[in-house]
Structure 1
Amino acid sequence: MAKTKKPKNSGGGATPHNPVIEEHIDNALSARYMAYALSTITQRALPDVRDGLKPVHRRILFAMRQLKLNPEGAYKKSARIVGDVMGQFHPHGDQSIYDALVKLSQEFATRYPLVEGQGNFGNIDGDSPAAMRYTEAKMTAAGMLLLEGLDENAVDFKATYNEEDDEPVVLPAGFPNLLANGAQGIAVGMATSIPPHNVAEICNAALHLIKTPNARVETLMNHILGPDLPTGGIMVEPKDNILEAYQTGRGSFRIRSRWAVEDTGRGTYQIVVTEIPYQVQKSRLIEKLAEVIESKKASGLADVRDESAEDVRIVLEPKSKNIDPAILMESLFKISELESRVSLNMNVLDANGVPRVMDLREVIQSWLDHRREVLLRRTNQRLGKIADRLEVLDGYLIAFLNLDEVIRIVRYEDKPKEELIAAFNLTERQADAILNMRLRALNKLQEIEIKTESESLRAEQIKLEALVSSDAQQWDTISGQIRELRDLYGPKTDAGRRRTTFDLAPDLDIDLSTAFITKEPITVILSEKGWIRALKGKVDDLDTLKFKEGDKLAFAVHAETTDKIILFASNGKFYTLGGDKLPGGRGNGEPIRLMVDLENDHIPVGLFVHDPERTLLVASSEGYGFRVKEADIVASTRGGKQVLNVKGDAEAVRVIEAKGDRIATIGENRKLLVFNLDEVSELTRGKGVRLQRYKDGGLSDMTTFSSEEGLAFIDSAGRRQEVPDWPQHEGSRAQAGRMAPRGFSRQGLFAPDKRL
């Protein structure tokens, strides 16, 4: 608890008029930070749910109203507006006020601008507006609707910061600004992000909610389809996700650029982007697309140009006329801001100034409740004025009915006011009104006008009193106001036409990484010394291939340019190569070590075309191995992906496809072992389990087969030989096995077609 301590007077130090306050630092920081946080939340970041405005925007519009900057009037310098706002209502920086004013006028930032600007107010490229001394502004019709009724006691007022003037706590809000124009803000510990929506759709939803007060969000979304953004675009978010966002008040929506294909003749085309996502700067977008071209992340895009004038026109040129435009755009959507996400976080201040997240129904209902309160306050204020006027008119009528006596009292009595009150039972105000009448107002025509006015006011009074006492009439009146607003911003008007449309992203079952590669057959050749090349077409006659002196063929694989080529090395790593990136068939190719980081003391032991549906079997020279899904071995870097762990003198020696139900292994000691393939574990990385036990040497080869088809090997003459007594070699995993049958390959190898 803070306490005040009278300091000691030490000559020039503290005095009784300057006391020292002692307070614990935790309490001091907590109290001050809480005050700062609340100020940020309520006075800067979060909009009021009723008028959808933050204080700075509300003060700008109120100041412009005082300056009579109506839509039909003339413009005034922005500096004048900013000066009035800062001097009277908003004691903050002039630049922050001007930035808020500018945003209210930007058609690419605000769906329904509240301010009409004249001069340079910035553009969609992200260029800054001109200085406030050069630009001019006035209000739009939407801005005037927000202020309508302000002189009719529609809302409460409060003192300004210097208590010299009054300002409205909230605007009457004849325009559904919160949903129509949205809001963005970051406070302390919370934020708000509401995208703009279509006014006609908001009006339809509000009318439905008036008619059906218990309507659900799902029903309201039959009217409000989703955000309607100033820059248009295509929303590709599924309906279920949109519904969930509006039910919870939180979510996000995917927005894509609108594009079309233009024929440029001779079978060529170009893509023209005419609308870009909300809050994306066009210049930055084009810079990023240029970077994408330079970095070759989008292999199908050749060039990008900005041909925009008043409208957006970004031209994208493909590298080839054979590239499908839809596939090219799909690739660009994934790597550029041609597609972006617009967030929804309807965190607002309710009617009591409490911040909370509302769903769609609560937001619309809050606006309707505010409109009803404004209607009642305006009606009661009008009733007060009518009663006040009728009091005067009743006095006039009494005077006309007793004109001669009134004249006598005024002419001959010393105190005519008291005499009039006593003679005709008048109020003090009626007596003053009669005494202040001019002589020329005593004619017959004036009497008729007073009677007519009195009858008209009494009829209006009866009508307004019925309105105040009837909820149904109140909602009927509000419904009529909303219908007028809907007609003003209907779908057939330029301002009301929906700009953002809805679609689903095309379901393209295509690998975008290979979509722009021309699909051609190739034959991949890898020599024993590690030189790799790709011959065009399917080459079957490999005897004609030429190699460097002392080198020969190690692997030959038939593939296509769109395939991923997988290399398995003796270090237990898998390396991934693109079929289109391999050197051509002229000459001896290039060393494989220029493409992957393969150490000099390790060699390739397998080369095959990637098939993500297969399961592989890998094994080391020690006789350890395991099964691994081929989808888990793809490497994304030159360094490869470590799968089989080997240590010391052990090396990876084999990789084969795991198919069938049996596995056969043979060691360098020529002992053969057959066991069930299910005994081998499936891993993603590791040393594996022991396949066969050896006293001397290690694993020579292994294969998998189906027990129905049987086991075979290739003899020294190249003939396929069956092993009819293979069941005699059956056992369990990790056993030593029995000697191979007579005639088995002297190299200790199974049929080579069993290898990848």
Structure 2
Amino acid sequence: MTVHTPPPEGGRIIDEPLETALSRRYLAYALSTITNRALPDVRDGFKPVHRRILYAMHQMRLNPQAAARKCAKVVGEVMGGYHPHGDASIYDALVRLAQDFAQRYPLVDGQGNFGNIDGDNAAAMRYTECKLTAASVLLMDGIDQATVDFRPTYDDQDEEPIVLPAGFPNLLANGSSGIAVGMATSIPPHNVGELIDACHLLLERPDATTAELAEIVPGPDFPTGGVAVEGHAAILDAYETGRGGVRLRARWEVEDTGRGTYVIVVTEMPYQIQKNNLVKALADLIEQKKAPLLADVRDESAEDIRLVIEPKSRTVEAEVLMESLFRLSDLEVRFPINMNVLDATGTPRVMGLKACLQAFLDHRREVLNRRSQWRIERVEKRLHLLEGLRIVFLNLDEVIRIVREEEQPKAVLIARFGLSEVQADFILDTRLRQLARIEEMTIETEFRALMEELAALQALTSSPAKQWKKIGQELTAVRKVMVSPRRTTIAEAVDSSAFAPVEAFIPREAITVILSERGWIRAARGKVEDPSELKFKEGDGPGWLVPAYTTDKLLVAASDGRVFTIGADKLASGRGHGEPLRLMIELDDKAEIIALLAHQPGARLLVASRAGYGFIAPEDDMLAQKRGGKQVLNGDLLALMRVNGDHIVTIGENLKTLIFKAEELPEMGRGKGVKLQAFKQGGLTDIAVFDGAHGPEWVDGGGRRRNWPDWKDWLGKRAGAGRMGPRGLRKFR
């Protein structure tokens, strides 16, 4: 039997608290996610996967003039050489770089099916082809001239750039989004012409304010167009702080269809909204009766977007209809702005508009200086060789004699003319045809040109003013190549509160709300004259019949103490069996329905628990905005009824009855309440509210209603024990 001995002390076993070990390892994972996946670099606007895709395509020479290659080939190169992750994630990133509805300035020229704005996915990578666009060439211009640092790839077999030279501010031009551990980023796309104009302002006046920059860059410019309605002040605040948001609406127009009728045509979608999903959502609003002004929606799009919206009637104003749909659907979205990026040192920071543009300009200055230094080294090397050739032409006969007669011509040339070893090798490798008179003139011309270039480069590297001027000239040239008219309109902020709510346009019609014993709810038109004619599912029967109007809100009380709110206009037709109430509200499976009321503004409700506690609540406070309802009572709810009298009568499980004045109950919004009736054991079984001028009624065992003329004999104070009620009294309702 093999005996396994533990490793010696100080070996692979590390003795440390589990909390410390987990904290250190999770921190390392979080930092890796932040720096290597989620946040873009402020200088070139890329995450590592996008940078690696473009650099791999550059290495494959897939420039705009070359033939496209299979995307599978590109993905394989990226995965094998630079990005050791799944091919699906690489291809998804590549596809997004090629989508003109996702990228303001596409960086990959895709050929084949790369998806569409409807939400359809791209074809498999074995079917699609790609190459670089002119914008990508600008981003990598000078990458082979030592303009940026490189680092070893994951397997140390090659090198990859840490950042791209970035000929234009790609971070803001194409935007970025990502979620890391504990932080996220969301940067909308902008118009590159406006960004370059803002860069020129910073070059002229480095102390320019964000407000002055925002006059040039008034807001985002989304690839799908649309109308931004956030307002200048809110956008300026987002540019100043790096955090905020912008409301984006679909662009629409009214199309006259004759005879006083019209339709609304949507021609531009909000950014990142899939058209098919939007059409389905609008159709659901019609089916669920949540959009009373909308009659129909249909998609007539071909290459251009054409979404036709038909109003309910010709009297509906187009602006009112669209405002209601902006509230109810993704025809209006809010794009968050969180300009969280990695700065030049790799540190996550939230930057404003000015800081991002200044970081880009600083990067361009470093690229310019490194490219100039790279060129200076090559010019000096070439001048050194040309100086050797000039010596040859001045002493041509002697050089020829040395080459023909000396055994060691290289050493003799070095000693005779004071040449370097590099110059001597170059002279000996020179062909005879280059010693012609015309070549001498060519060499002199080249020498003078290189001397002028060297002087210009040295002056450039020693003068910050000339460097900024050169950067401005380069940006002007880029602007001419990438100029593109603005697609998103920046409009004034829209105050949607000025428009009437959607509920104001619901027609007011009398209905009867029918809720069955098993929780199926529907609405029948008008008043139900004969409840016995109503049909229910087998084993089910009538539970509540409540007269109401389609404009009413319904209050549904459950035994767990919650009150839910449902719009009467959203109920199914009374022709069928209706639909389960539990699909409309988040009602617990163990909870039972206690009451169903049509809301009356300003009214008051009596809330009572089975434990014998209760209070009076303003009915307006019972309305809930969420499907989860509003917790009103802390306990098991027995009854929820409207206070239509001045006295309250209770009966306990011990059959003792107590009557007291309603004014003895406190009014409160929610809670446990106060004691209604005292019990040695058991609790409350029923409660009712009545008017003292007419007296209460109760129901005997046969279901007959009985008067109670001597009810004042049971009158007492709240929280009393009460006395035995009339013979046969078990309930009041």
TM-score by length of 2: 0.73
Is 1:181 aligned with 2:174? yes
Specify the alignment match of 1:133 in structure 2: 126
How much has 1:471 moved relative to structure 2?
Answer: 0.6
Q: Aligned pair in 2 of structure 1 residues 72, 503: CA closer, same or farther (>3 Å)?
A: farther
Specify the alignment match of 1:70 in structure 2: 63
Describe the SS at the equivalent of 1:21: coil
5 Å-filtered alignment, 1:382-393, equals: 382-393=375-386
Amino acid at match of 1:32: R
Is the contact made by 2:221 and 2:486 (CA closer than 8 Å) also made in structure 1? no
Is the contact made by 1:564 and 1:576 (CA closer than 8 Å) also made in structure 2? no
Quote the Cα distance in structure 1 between the aligned partners of 2:594 and 2:174.
66
Is 1:11 aligned with 2:5? no
Partner of residue 21 from structure 1, selected from 12, 15, 22: 12
Amino acid at match of 1:468: T
Matched residue pairs, number?
A: 614
Specify the alignment match of 1:156 in structure 2: 149
1:110-169 Cα distance to aligned partner (Å, 9 max, x none): 111000100001111211111111000000011111110011111111111121211111
How much has 1:510 moved relative to structure 2?
Answer: 4.0
Amino acid at match of 2:349: R
Quote the Cα distance in structure 2 between the aligned partners of 1:402 and 1:80.
57
Two-structure CA RMSD over aligned residues (Å): 4.6
Is the contact made by 1:103 and 1:110 (CA closer than 8 Å) also made in structure 2? yes
Q: Aligned pair in 2 of structure 1 residues 574, 98: CA closer, same or farther (>3 Å)?
A: closer
1:312-336 Cα distance to aligned partner (Å, 9 max, x none): 2211122212111211111111121
How much has 1:503 moved relative to structure 2?
Answer: 3.7
Is the contact made by 1:230 and 1:278 (CA closer than 8 Å) also made in structure 2? yes
Greater displacement, 25-34 / 10-19: 10-19
How much has 1:35 moved relative to structure 2?
Answer: 2.4
1:177-232 Cα distance to aligned partner (Å, 9 max, x none): 11111111111111111111110111111111111112222221111111111111
Q: Aligned pair in 2 of structure 1 residues 627, 46: CA closer, same or farther (>3 Å)?
A: same
Is 1:404 aligned with 2:397? yes
Partner of residue 207 from structure 2, selected from 214, 218, 228: 214
Describe the SS at the equivalent of 1:514: helix
Specify the alignment match of 1:276 in structure 2: 269
Q: Aligned pair in 2 of structure 1 residues 23, 518: CA closer, same or farther (>3 Å)?
A: same
Is 1:172 aligned with 2:161? no
Q: Aligned pair in 2 of structure 1 residues 343, 632: CA closer, same or farther (>3 Å)?
A: same
Q: Aligned pair in 2 of structure 1 residues 340, 390: CA closer, same or farther (>3 Å)?
A: same
Quote the Cα distance in structure 1 between the aligned partners of 2:593 and 2:435.
120
Amino acid at match of 1:151: D
1:689-720 Cα distance to aligned partner (Å, 9 max, x none): 9xxxxxxx99869xxxxxxxxxxxxxxxxxxx
Quote the Cα distance in structure 2 between the aligned partners of 1:301 and 1:46.
42
Is 1:302 aligned with 2:295? yes
Q: Aligned pair in 2 of structure 1 residues 94, 619: CA closer, same or farther (>3 Å)?
A: closer
Partner of residue 497 from structure 1, selected from 465, 469, 486: 486
Amino acid at match of 2:28: A
Specify the alignment match of 2:369 in structure 1: 376
Partner of residue 362 from structure 1, selected from 355, 368, 384: 355
How much has 1:67 moved relative to structure 2?
Answer: 1.1
Amino acid at match of 1:194: I
Q: Aligned pair in 2 of structure 1 residues 407, 686: CA closer, same or farther (>3 Å)?
A: closer
Quote the Cα distance in structure 1 between the aligned partners of 2:209 and 2:302.
44
Specify the alignment match of 2:580 in structure 1: none
Specify the alignment match of 2:345 in structure 1: 352
Quote the Cα distance in structure 1 between the aligned partners of 2:599 and 2:159.
81
How much has 1:71 moved relative to structure 2?
Answer: 0.9
How much has 1:504 moved relative to structure 2?
Answer: 2.7
Describe the SS at the equivalent of 1:271: strand
5 Å-filtered alignment, 1:90-169, equals: 90-169=83-162
Specify the alignment match of 1:204 in structure 2: 197
Specify the alignment match of 1:652 in structure 2: 643
Quote the Cα distance in structure 2 between the aligned partners of 1:22 and 1:609.
72
Quote the Cα distance in structure 2 between the aligned partners of 1:421 and 1:264.
93
Quote the Cα distance in structure 2 between the aligned partners of 1:345 and 1:274.
28
Quote the Cα distance in structure 1 between the aligned partners of 2:178 and 2:530.
68
Q: Aligned pair in 2 of structure 1 residues 627, 175: CA closer, same or farther (>3 Å)?
A: same
Is the contact made by 2:99 and 2:114 (CA closer than 8 Å) also made in structure 1? yes
Specify the alignment match of 2:476 in structure 1: 483
Is 1:509 aligned with 2:498? yes
Specify the alignment match of 2:34 in structure 1: 41
Q: Aligned pair in 2 of structure 1 residues 185, 649: CA closer, same or farther (>3 Å)?
A: closer
Partner of residue 231 from structure 1, selected from 221, 224, 243: 224
How much has 1:15 moved relative to structure 2?
Answer: 8.8
Q: Aligned pair in 2 of structure 1 residues 380, 129: CA closer, same or farther (>3 Å)?
A: same
1:275-296 Cα distance to aligned partner (Å, 9 max, x none): 1211111111111111111111
How much has 1:518 moved relative to structure 2?
Answer: 5.2
Is the contact made by 2:296 and 2:310 (CA closer than 8 Å) also made in structure 1? yes
Amino acid at match of 1:512: P
Amino acid at match of 1:23: I
Is 1:317 aligned with 2:310? yes
How much has 1:20 moved relative to structure 2?
Answer: 6.1
Q: Aligned pair in 2 of structure 1 residues 337, 403: CA closer, same or farther (>3 Å)?
A: same
Q: Aligned pair in 2 of structure 1 residues 648, 399: CA closer, same or farther (>3 Å)?
A: closer
Is the contact made by 1:304 and 1:317 (CA closer than 8 Å) also made in structure 2? yes
Is the contact made by 1:635 and 1:641 (CA closer than 8 Å) also made in structure 2? no
Is the contact made by 1:115 and 1:139 (CA closer than 8 Å) also made in structure 2? yes
How much has 1:463 moved relative to structure 2?
Answer: 0.8
5 Å-filtered alignment, 1:732-751, equals: none
Quote the Cα distance in structure 1 between the aligned partners of 2:345 and 2:381.
33
How much has 1:234 moved relative to structure 2?
Answer: 1.2
Quote the Cα distance in structure 1 between the aligned partners of 2:71 and 2:415.
59
Quote the Cα distance in structure 2 between the aligned partners of 1:251 and 1:299.
33
Quote the Cα distance in structure 1 between the aligned partners of 2:628 and 2:471.
68
Specify the alignment match of 1:435 in structure 2: 428
Quote the Cα distance in structure 2 between the aligned partners of 1:12 and 1:450.
81
Q: Aligned pair in 2 of structure 1 residues 14, 616: CA closer, same or farther (>3 Å)?
A: closer
How much has 1:432 moved relative to structure 2?
Answer: 1.4
1:655-685 Cα distance to aligned partner (Å, 9 max, x none): 9xxxxxxxxxxxx9xxxxxxxxxxx999767
Quote the Cα distance in structure 1 between the aligned partners of 2:297 and 2:342.
44
How much has 1:47 moved relative to structure 2?
Answer: 1.0
Identity %: 52
Quote the Cα distance in structure 1 between the aligned partners of 2:345 and 2:87.
29
Is the contact made by 1:632 and 1:684 (CA closer than 8 Å) also made in structure 2? yes
Quote the Cα distance in structure 2 between the aligned partners of 1:578 and 1:616.
18
Is the contact made by 2:82 and 2:154 (CA closer than 8 Å) also made in structure 1? yes
Is the contact made by 1:566 and 1:574 (CA closer than 8 Å) also made in structure 2? no
Is 1:87 aligned with 2:80? yes
Partner of residue 259 from structure 1, selected from 252, 255, 270: 252
Quote the Cα distance in structure 2 between the aligned partners of 1:533 and 1:152.
79
Describe the SS at the equivalent of 2:283: helix
Q: Aligned pair in 2 of structure 1 residues 405, 317: CA closer, same or farther (>3 Å)?
A: same
Specify the alignment match of 2:656 in structure 1: none
Quote the Cα distance in structure 1 between the aligned partners of 2:630 and 2:350.
48
Amino acid at match of 1:256: R
Q: Aligned pair in 2 of structure 1 residues 654, 238: CA closer, same or farther (>3 Å)?
A: farther
Is the contact made by 2:218 and 2:490 (CA closer than 8 Å) also made in structure 1? no
Partner of residue 238 from structure 2, selected from 238, 245, 249: 245
Specify the alignment match of 2:589 in structure 1: none
Amino acid at match of 2:78: V
Describe the SS at the equivalent of 1:152: coil
1:723-756 Cα distance to aligned partner (Å, 9 max, x none): xxxxxxxxxxxxxxxxxxxxxxxxxxxxxxxxxx
Q: Aligned pair in 2 of structure 1 residues 688, 199: CA closer, same or farther (>3 Å)?
A: same
